[in-house]
Structure 1
Amino acid sequence: MVTGLYPESHGIVDNSVFDLQLSSNLEKMRTKESDPYYGGEPIWSVYKRLTGRPAHCLFWVGCYHNNTGYKPDVSFDYNQSLSLDSRIETLLDWLRLPKETRPGLINAYLHQPDEAGHNQKSPKDVDDALAMVDEYMDKLFTAFHKENLLECINLVIVSDHGMQPLNRSVDISGHVKEDGLVVAKGVVTRIQINDTCEFEIENLAISASDLGKELYCTMKNVKVNTKESMPVRKHYSNSHRIGDFILEGRPGATFDIPFKGGDHGYDYHVENMHTIMFARGPAFKKNSVAPAFQNVQYMNLWLTLLGIEGALPNNGTVGFFDSILEKAPKRENKWESMGECDNFGSSQVLECQKIPAAEKNKLASKLSSCPLAKSFPVYSKDYCYQSYCENTVMANRDPDDCRKAVIEVLNAFSEKSFSDFSFLNTKYSIQCPFANHSSMVFFSAGSTSMSKMADAQFVFPAYFQRKILGPLQQKTQDYTTKYKKLYVISGLATDTNRDGHADQLAGSPTHFYRILIRCLDSWVSTNPPACKNNRMRSLAFIFPILDEHPTLECMDSNEILLDYTATISDVEQIAGFEFQLGSLSPAAPSYEWKGCENLGKCQLNGYDTPPLVILSFDGFAREYLDRKIVKSLDYLAECGAKAERVFPSFPSKTFPNHYTMVTGLYPESHGIVDNSVFDLQLSSELEKMRTKKGDPYYGGEPVDDALVMVDEYMDKLFTAFHKENLLECINLVIVSDHGMQPLNRSVDISGHVKEDGLIVVKGVVTRIHINDTSISASDVGKELYCTMENVKVNTKESMPVRKHYSNNHRIGDFILEGKPGATFDMPFDGGDHGYDYHVENMHTIMFARGPAFKKNSVAPAFQNVQYMNLWLTLLGIEDALPNNGTVGFFDSILKKAPKRVNRECDNFGSSQVLECQKMPAAEKNKLASKLSSCPLANSFPVYSKDYCYQSYCENTVIANRDPDDCRKAVIEVLNASSEKSSPAFSFLNTKYSIQCPFANHSSMAFFSAGSTCEWFLGGRELIKMEFSAMSKMADAQFVFPAYFQRSTVPRGAGIDI
């Protein structure tokens, strides 16, 4: 929240971190006094470095570390026993200081209602804590009000995570021997193979392969990922601290034995992990609501509120909170139209796989007549687009770069094609991309002839086809039938170091992504995509292209697809595009200080740049708002902004998330990968990240009492601000680090894996580090995978990218996650956090008020890595420090969001069909006719300065402007009624290329959603699906591993758009 970085980026990948470069032990971040663990630059450092102004800190994670040379001017040792009144008076004293010494930024942390959530015996415990929180906030706001501060400061209230009641423990000890491993346990468990002498994995007696065998599918309901297999959305791969395996159980499960009442750390998909954000101040609009967001977005809000927007790059989006800000910074309009690819002639059909004559004639006719898109929702300077009528191939301008994307419009009523062929549009290419047709699989989603673009193919591993691509294609078709029309973008991305960002240099694609878009009401346009009343919904996926991922064998297809969902921002980062999609959803919604009569009327001198006050409530779950105990936040939001919900970074633990909020880095990046960290380079022990000074971190007060105290504190604080005339002069942001999940069971890993030689960090996520060279990861994995009910076991390689929990050696070798309510601690009591942010109880909060925020604005749901860019924006140093957040993410709650324009790829002639795999003449004629007549997209929901777009009518290819970069993306509109194509072919639009991208046709598979897809079921039975011919763009193909392509055909409910 204070860095804008995912944990994988700022390094605090958990509350406990193992980093052999810093320590030979798993170090607990709450007690470890070592600056090197903390990566990235927190907001107070950026602010002091760029402005020279004071910044003060009250107990915020990381404040007592000086890893950048700019430590807060005032930062107390942690003292949980400090009374609420004393805390309020401290904040007031700071804001009463003369202008020269008064802090322009204040970060304050409160331990409730987290403590109550962990120790809860019943929901009433949490309710009591919430009542206490409300009492605290009322006292705080009353104090602000009496001091006339309420209208002079920007106040943002956040939380780090939610809380999930625990109900079971998963014991990994019976599955894996912990000798030679570092195991960080909790609701997510990280296992790292540890060798204190050698760092090369090949020298270790414990192999990841053997350890994986002990983990994969050995524990019921436990997902086991490596950093390679980790969903991109988790942003938990790009840190050596994450470990080799990441284990996740279902909500309620923990790997700690025994376990307490509640815990956090689960996937942010768990609703109990969701948290809050409320804000008030001269920067915030009255009664504004920010859409749901992940807390990595906060950093850009802080930067904006502090007048230093853009001062530090991070993982958040600059401008995300503009919708809740009164005056968002003016930004240069960087949006450019993606250019059309070079044209080599007219649009004709080039057969890349033999096309039946009738089908070819249809395609040719369509290609030659369909107009270019009017505008294009995707931008990249490195890519251009090739028009395939309703489909578009986005091709890299570098001919050696095989990354491509396909845009398709799928229609439930389109005529399906049953022919097996692929083709190209000769406007863009006169050479088919692949020679070996038999191994290629379409990744386009459509079932018409036009989706059988040769560029929408790739050679996926058979396992990938069976477990991922097949179910995804079926799910896409099910959605097309259900919603009648879809706009689909499918593409290939290369991210060899798993940092979530597209590689600069061309390489073999490592990931496959898809975005599905539908309208809640009706479609206004599919070219560009636009919905009536701007009511658009999207669902995105990013899948690592792996030859195998054993933990998927104990997950059903819907569970797999859900796990590998991603945000649009995640796809942008890994694809190298910028999208222009979607809109924010507005929402409407005593204490002495409440009311907006003085909004924007700061009556104090010297507050031209409002100080930024960031107040965090530990463990304030989004769900707690529904209890209606903490009224202060509702009153605050009436005059400011709040977030729909905030997703904690994975794992949803206190230390990783607080440091994420002030660095904009994922824990894998900032190094605090857990509350306890094992890093052999720093310590041979598992170190607690909690400071060694002060009283115990957790006490035993019930949650509802804590909420009452929080409200009391906030009321006192805001009243004091109001009395000091500060309320309209500061930007106040209230956040939380995580939610809270009541615990109901414990998962005992001791019966699955022996802990000798392992460092096991237990909790609702458990991390296992192998700390003995004689123990192999493969052997440990065998003891863990699918051996514990409802426990996911991951390595850093298999960890979902969305968790961003792979790229740090401190994470460990295995990460174990149980279902919400489960913990790996034994015994357990109350509640805990740390679950995946998919667990709703982990969701948290963000509220804000101040001169930077729009009144009554709502930020969409976001992950807390976004905060850093908010801090930078609020402090006037936006873009000052790169981080994992998205610059501009908070634009919707601030003032003015940037506009971007896509560029069409270079044109080389008219739109004709270039056959890249032989197509039937009729199909070719149809495509050619359609290509030559379909218009360009009016606007385009994708942006990247490195890419351009190629129009394929309802589909679009987003291509890299570097011809050597093969990364491409495809946007498709899938329509169940669209005319379907059956022959196998691929083609290009000659407007952008006169040369087909691949020579080896047989190994290519379409990744466009509307293309023909064929794969083997059980290695023998050939399954075929028919899709749109316009989706068979040659640029929408890739050589996917067979594992990636292979799958059964799933049906039924699961995830939805």
Structure 2
Amino acid sequence: MFADGTEEQGMGRFRAGMISAVAAVLMAACQSAQNEVPPPASLLSPQITETDAAPPVAEAPLVLMIGLDGLNPPMIDRWDAPNLKALAARGVRAEAMRPVMPSVTFVNFYSLATGLYPKHHGMVENYPYDKAADEQFDRATGPQEERWWQGEPIWITAEKQGLPTSIMFWLGSEVAHDGVRPTRWTPYEHNKPYQDRVDEVLGWYDAPEAELPRFAAIYFDRVDTAAHYFGPGSDKAKEAVAEVDGYVGQLVEGLGARGLLERTTVIVVSDHGMVWVDPAKVLDIGQFLDLTALNVPQFNGPYGGSNHPFLHIYGEGEALEKAYQGLKNFDEHIHVYKRGEMPAHYHFDHPTRGPDLFLVADPGWSVRNANLGGWRAPIPGQHGYDNLHPTMAATFIAAGPVFPEGEMTAPFENVNVYLMIACALGIEPAETDGDPAVVEQVTGGRCPAAR
């Protein structure tokens, strides 16, 4: 059972039935690796020859997940990204990966880690408010407080089954779950140079075989930062895509140089897309919100009066109903929903953290409260909008033993990625909201749904 006591119908409870089949697939993939087509030249420089490389062995499978914040799929096609394209050519790329709602960073990177919707893992916003505790997530201390991070991340699942893991900067990796932590983890350092991040991760793979991270993850914020402050179609965003593409190339090249690429599943994911924000499309909704009776977490802090793509509104009684009645017909470009009446694809009605009212603007639009201080002009790029809108789409590219070669797959939800990783590692997954049929389709039948 999940935190809200519900059982999801039709969504994955992906159990041990897949494990024996997966293990056979992985062993066969490792034993035949030397006969497979080598990765594209753009990913390996210099080329690793049979003479130079370590002899292929049927060792345990490895997974490396690379998180590229803010990378919308069209960015890869619009600009030069040879390493991402080469990885897709020898694996699978999704037309789009659908983020969960709201389409922001903490929420989605944690859904990728747990395979859960926000209503089950509790991160319903970057800095969620818990109504029962009357407490808001503190950005300084929250990353280390287990109570905020519900569900079981994939690295905890792996550690519980004896697999060493190494995590750099992934959301939720700074807390222990029932006393279990990754073998290696790194507190977030926003200013840590990206090249140092790459070098450190590759150093993990210089360890003896028994100490290699069976699952590893690394995060880069570069594209998101550039797209926020200069716009998703700007030259700065273009430069950011080229930069992170280069880091992906280095990581893949480094695995190849160590003789590990053929047994490593490399998964590149993003959390959401980005859209241009028009300064003329900011709506003032302060008149409808009695902040003496209602709590709007987005309005807290030094920039509370600035524009927001969505609002969580907590309260009850007359003040809440007045807010709902005033907002629902105020403007056609904002949409307001009561708790329990939100669109089915939102999945963030958490029992203590889900909002009593949720307001979301159309992409490119935003709301503000002019009664509050801290106003600043809208930054050029924004996200957090409806997760089905194309501008919010995330990236998924994966190559390795459990993925077919050179395929484009239909869009799918990011809650399915946890199950793909569990399959690639050959471990028993925890309960998730993923769909085993989707996992089977994306992996070309290599991760069969339990029958």
Smaller-chain TM-score range?
A: 0.5 to 0.7
Report the structure, 1 or 2, having the larger strand content: 1
Deviation at 1:16, TM superposition (A): 2.0
- Is structure 2 residue 168 aligned with structure 1 residue 58? yes
**1: CA distance, partners of 2:425 / 2:449:** 22
The 5-angstrom pairing of residues 967-978 of structure 1 reads none
Q: Secondary structure at the match of 2:180?
A: coil
Deviation at 1:132, TM superposition (A): 1.7
- Is structure 2 residue 257 aligned with structure 1 residue 146? yes
**1: CA distance, partners of 2:408 / 2:440:** 11
**2: CA distance, partners of 1:824 / 1:123:** 24
Contact 2:267 2:397 in 1 (8 A): yes
1:473-494 Cα deviation digits (max 9, x unpaired): xxxxxxxxxxxxxxxxxxxxxx
Letter in 2 for 1:166: V
**1: CA distance, partners of 2:284 / 2:180:** 43
Alignment equivalent of 1:177, drawn from 283, 290, 293: 290
Q: Could you state the TM-score of these two structures normalised by the residue count of structure 1? A: 0.29
Letter in 1 for 2:216: I
Q: Could you state the TM-score of these two structures normalised by the residue count of structure 2? A: 0.67
Deviation at 1:257, TM superposition (A): 4.4
Letter in 2 for 1:831: G
The 5-angstrom pairing of residues 402-801 of structure 1 reads 763-770=308-315, 776-801=319-344
Letter in 2 for 1:832: Q
Contact 1:166 1:829 in 2 (8 A): yes
Q: Secondary structure at the match of 2:225?
A: helix
Alignment equivalent of 1:115, drawn from 225, 228, 233: 225
Counterpart in 2 of 1:48? Answer: 159
In structure 2, do the counterparts of structure 1 residues 68 and 860 end up closer, same or farther at CA, with 3 Å as the change threshold? farther
- Is structure 2 residue 343 aligned with structure 1 residue 805? no
Structure 2's unaligned 5+ residue stretches are 1-111, 369-374
Letter in 1 for 2:351: N
1:15-40 Cα deviation digits (max 9, x unpaired): 1211133x423325675132111111
Identity of aligned residues (%): 25
Higher relative contact order structure (alpha carbons within 8 Å, sequence separation ≥ 6): 1
More divergent stretch after superposition (27-36 vs 884-893): 27-36
Deviation at 1:78, TM superposition (A): 0.7
**1: CA distance, partners of 2:294 / 2:408:** 45
- Is structure 2 residue 203 aligned with structure 1 residue 155? no
Structure 1's unaligned 5+ residue stretches are 190-254, 260-762, 902-1057
Contact 2:403 2:446 in 1 (8 A): no
**1: CA distance, partners of 2:126 / 2:449:** 39
- Is structure 2 residue 114 aligned with structure 1 residue 3? yes
Contact 2:423 2:447 in 1 (8 A): no
Deviation at 1:178, TM superposition (A): 2.1
Alignment equivalent of 1:881, drawn from 415, 430, 443: 430
Q: Secondary structure at the match of 1:5?
A: coil
Contact 1:169 1:257 in 2 (8 A): no
In structure 2, do the counterparts of structure 1 residues 173 and 137 end up closer, same or farther at CA, with 3 Å as the change threshold? same
Letter in 1 for 2:403: F
Letter in 1 for 2:322: D
Contact 1:6 1:885 in 2 (8 A): no
Letter in 2 for 1:858: M
Contact 1:8 1:805 in 2 (8 A): yes
Counterpart in 2 of 1:165? Answer: 276
Contact 1:47 1:55 in 2 (8 A): yes
Deviation at 1:13, TM superposition (A): 1.1
In structure 2, do the counterparts of structure 1 residues 851 and 108 end up closer, same or farther at CA, with 3 Å as the change threshold? same
**1: CA distance, partners of 2:323 / 2:177:** 35
In structure 2, do the counterparts of structure 1 residues 76 and 820 end up closer, same or farther at CA, with 3 Å as the change threshold? same
Deviation at 1:256, TM superposition (A): 7.0
Deviation at 1:821, TM superposition (A): 0.9
**1: CA distance, partners of 2:156 / 2:227:** 32
**1: CA distance, partners of 2:139 / 2:351:** 15
Contact 2:274 2:383 in 1 (8 A): yes
1:765-800 Cα deviation digits (max 9, x unpaired): 111222xx7753212212322213411011222211
Contact 2:436 2:449 in 1 (8 A): no
Aligned length: 326
Q: Which 4+ stretches in 1 moved above 6 angstroms?
A: none
Alignment equivalent of 1:129, drawn from 224, 228, 240: 240
In structure 2, do the counterparts of structure 1 residues 129 and 866 end up closer, same or farther at CA, with 3 Å as the change threshold? same
Alignment equivalent of 2:382, drawn from 810, 832, 836: 832
Contact 1:88 1:140 in 2 (8 A): yes
**2: CA distance, partners of 1:900 / 1:870:** 14
1:702-746 Cα deviation digits (max 9, x unpaired): xxxxxxxxxxxxxxxxxxxxxxxxxxxxxxxxxxxxxxxxxxxxx
RMSD: 2.5
**1: CA distance, partners of 2:145 / 2:449:** 42
Report the structure, 1 or 2, having the larger helix content: 2
Q: Which has the larger radius of gyration?
A: 1
Contact 1:169 1:258 in 2 (8 A): no
Q: Secondary structure at the match of 2:313?
A: strand
Counterpart in 2 of 1:17? Answer: 128
In structure 2, do the counterparts of structure 1 residues 774 and 840 end up closer, same or farther at CA, with 3 Å as the change threshold? closer
In structure 2, do the counterparts of structure 1 residues 123 and 177 end up closer, same or farther at CA, with 3 Å as the change threshold? same
In structure 2, do the counterparts of structure 1 residues 80 and 897 end up closer, same or farther at CA, with 3 Å as the change threshold? closer
- Is structure 2 residue 371 aligned with structure 1 residue 821? no
